[in-house]
Structure 1
Amino acid sequence: MDKALQDIIDNKAWTEDNLVKLLELRGKDQKDLLKMGGDCLLQTRGSEVYYRGLVEFSNICTKDCYYCGIRKSNRETDRYDLPDDAILEAAAFAHENKYGSLVLQSGERDDEGFVNRIDELLKKIKRQTNGELGITLSLGEQTPETYKRWFESGAHRYLLRIETSDKELYTQLHPSDDKHSFTKRLECLKAIQNAGFQTGTGVMIGLPGQSLKHLARDLQFLMDFDVDMVGMGPYIEHEETPLYDQRSSLWPLGERFLTALNMVATLRLMMPDINMAATTAMQAIDPMGREKAMKAGANVIMPNITPSNLRRNYLLYQNKPCTDEGAEDCSNCLSVRLEMIGRTPGFNKWGDSLHYFQRVNNPKK
């Protein structure tokens, strides 16, 4: 790698301009960057990749985000809501197959019935698995009281994507009302931290109007906010969304993918002890996308264990992979894929973020 670029990494000189230089790397210098990200992960966390069995249990959503395929205004998707028994069955599958952890994800609701239902499900999953199955929630913006209640009922990780840390760009992705407020999103992330959760967030790469400077500031935001987990990947448009009209102005898919790899490797170098997911959006562009993300520094993967007949209705973006595979197919496929790149499944482990323990035991002043 060019000496000036190596100096940026060695000196941890994470200025906006320096981060842009890393994000725009291609060719040999990019390969060097990706290898450094992967080596940093191996030195910090080893070769284990942690499984999170993903249950997308409902695509009913009260939000109307301009980029999302399950936005409430999309009349072209069949809405569904899994019964509790099916969710508990998926949790049992994750436990029996040694996943270690479960992710409950859905469209966004904050009504009393939904909040109570999640609370009861958490308690049932904990009882059913003898407290052995870790639980991550990805259920959007809630009140501080709800976050605290769900934490006390057994969830210990929460993922809420910031989408972009740039307020102006954020407002272009959402309707201009109180339900889609950038300020509220930040307040919710802080409330998640305050409730005690291992806190995860993430950004989309290649949004309309987004620049490498935006992405550099996203990386700085993730570090400054002291996040424990990150899931980020390329933005992929959905034809039943308002942003689809801007598709002609987007970066080519290949550029979005390569930049996403650089984001993963760079963030791993900036925050060596966090957990980082290899997202399915990477695989939607490149058949080996998740593997390439893991080799660049990601250490979490989320096999989809939603009943396969419903997966095609949880399409946040077009061409989402693995919508027609059964849970066992997905599990077997991942084990083979990990072996191909020299990684091992972290079976029966929660695989918690080391950064979380550092953060809570040594809080910033």
Structure 2
Amino acid sequence: MWGAPMNSADLRAFAEGRTLDALRGEANALCESVWGKRVFVRGLIEFSNHCARNCLYCGIRGANTRVSRYRLSSDEIVEIVREGFRLGIRTFVLQGGEDPFLSVLDHCRTVERIKDATEGTAAITLSLGIRSRSEYAALKAAGADRYLLRFETSDETLHTRLRDGVPFAARRRALDDLKELDYEVGSGFMTGLPGETEETFYENVRLCKTLELDMVGIGPFIPHPDTPLWSDAPPSLERTLRAVALVRLLLPMANMPATTAAGSIDPLGREKMLLSGANVLMPNLSPSEAKRHYLLYPGKVCLDEDGSSCLKCLRARVLRLGKELVFDRGDSRSAALRHVG
């Protein structure tokens, strides 16, 4: 049943016919049947909080004049990678706002330098927003392995309203370009966005399967006080856990992070996600000063921890769940099967 596409109504009937605990249990069991009890580490580097976009929910939106803007240099990024590599991390995620100051050539040079610094052994995930196909191709040629571009909502009208007028079709086209260029492709969505309906929620889940994503990131909407959505209420964590479990059941081989946003609304949020089908944690390796200014949402956890301290904390948290923190690249199994095919 789960290996085949289904419509949103069937998916909703399946989900609502089970308790949340039952869904989570099924998803965790399926995850462990594929990945064992391993929880993969991805080192996150938030290299710039400059952004030309004005997404209504985002704390670093261009119109927010209360943000202290920063931009890490290529030298700084490479040094962070070197330290993370020394700690054993073999996958690095470079995430930033859509910063017009940095060209695709700048990003390509940084990617090449990271590959050189890690002797080509580290995987590089980029999250740089919508780019042209030619830019994606250049980044791939420079050595980028994976790309993360969350769609956030599958509702076309809601997407256009929340995402600064960018149509859903543009994001979908970018995801198709990335897949065709042989990236490991990551996407995902927020639960509880203002305007989300039950139909949208299940269509979001179903779209992850339709796209056959290699990575899926799901987190709750958290209202930021300096955005137009500051007065909207966040969803319960249970809604996010339900989404994670359903996506895991649809995509057994996907890598799915236990997102920091979940840990920001519940002290055990990441643990609950790991018991709902998630299998990745992303310690933030950015300098503390940068972390404090990369606030997509308020209440972000672990702002004062360095990478080493964060890893020790995460290892202990994972062990309490009977799982194991591992530092392998954790390459996509579905991507590997595509190559075999």
What TM-score range do you get, normalising by the shorter chain?
over 0.9
Secondary structure in structure 1 of the residue aligned to 2:116: helix
Partners of 1:94 and 1:101 within 8 A in 2: no
**In the alignment, what sits opposite 1:134?**
123
Partners of 1:65 and 1:175 within 8 A in 2: yes
Answering whether residue 290 of structure 2 is matched by residue 310 of structure 1, we say yes
Q: How does 1:29-40 map to 2 (within 5 A)?
A: 29-40=19-30
Answering whether residue 138 of structure 2 is matched by residue 149 of structure 1, we say yes
**In the alignment, what sits opposite 1:198?**
184
Amino acid at match of 2:321: I
Partner Cα separation in structure 1 for residue 74 and residue 5 of structure 2: 49
**In the alignment, what sits opposite 1:337?**
317
Q: How does 1:1-365 map to 2 (within 5 A)?
A: 14-21=6-13, 23=15, 29-109=19-99, 113-176=102-165, 180-245=166-231, 247=232, 250=233, 253=235, 255=236, 257-347=237-327, 349-362=328-341
1:101-146 Cα distance to aligned partner (Å, 9 max, x none): 00000011356x4211111111111111111111110111111111
Q: 1:244 to 1:25 in 2, by over 3 A?
A: farther
1:42-91 Cα distance to aligned partner (Å, 9 max, x none): 10111111111000011001111111000100000100001222111110
Partners of 2:48 and 2:99 within 8 A in 1: no
Displacement, 1:343? Answer: 1.3
Displacement, 1:278? Answer: 0.8
Secondary structure in structure 1 of the residue aligned to 2:46: strand
Partners of 1:23 and 1:263 within 8 A in 2: no
Amino acid at match of 1:134: A
Displacement, 1:14? Answer: 4.0
Q: 1:10 to 1:223 in 2, by over 3 A?
A: closer
Q: 1:211 to 1:318 in 2, by over 3 A?
A: same
Q: Return the structure number with greater helix share.
A: 1
Secondary structure in structure 1 of the residue aligned to 2:202: helix
1:203-246 Cα distance to aligned partner (Å, 9 max, x none): 0000111122111111111111111110011111111111224x
Amino acid at match of 1:16: S
Between stretches 165-174 and 40-49, larger displacement belongs to 165-174
Displacement, 1:172? Answer: 2.2
Amino acid at match of 1:140: G
Runs of 5+ unmatched residues, structure 2: none
Displacement, 1:161? Answer: 0.5
Partner Cα separation in structure 1 for residue 64 and residue 16 of structure 2: 35
Give the percent of matched residue pairs that are identical in Structure 1 and Structure 2: 37
Amino acid at match of 2:78: L
- TM-score, length of structure 1 as denominator length: 0.89
Secondary structure in structure 2 of the residue aligned to 1:232: strand
Partner Cα separation in structure 1 for residue 64 and residue 205 of structure 2: 32
Q: 1:55 to 1:125 in 2, by over 3 A?
A: same
Partners of 1:291 and 1:337 within 8 A in 2: yes
Secondary structure in structure 2 of the residue aligned to 1:309: helix
1:298-327 Cα distance to aligned partner (Å, 9 max, x none): 111110000012201000011111112122
Displacement, 1:15? Answer: 3.4
Displacement, 1:175? Answer: 2.8
**In the alignment, what sits opposite 1:4?**
none
Partner Cα separation in structure 2 for residue 323 and residue 243 of structure 1: 24
Aligned CA-pair RMSD: 1.8
- TM-score, length of structure 2 as denominator length: 0.95
**In the alignment, what sits opposite 1:5?**
none
Displacement, 1:11? Answer: 9.3
Partner Cα separation in structure 1 for residue 5 and residue 26 of structure 2: 16
Partner Cα separation in structure 2 for residue 277 and residue 25 of structure 1: 26
How many residues in Structure 1 have an aligned counterpart in Structure 2? 341
Question: Any runs of at least 4 consecutive aligned residues in structure 1 with deviations exceeding 3 A, and if so which?
Answer: 9-15, 21-26, 359-362
Partner Cα separation in structure 2 for residue 225 and residue 10 of structure 1: 14
Q: 1:59 to 1:114 in 2, by over 3 A?
A: same
Q: 1:10 to 1:150 in 2, by over 3 A?
A: closer
Displacement, 1:22? Answer: 5.0
Runs of 5+ unmatched residues, structure 1: 1-8
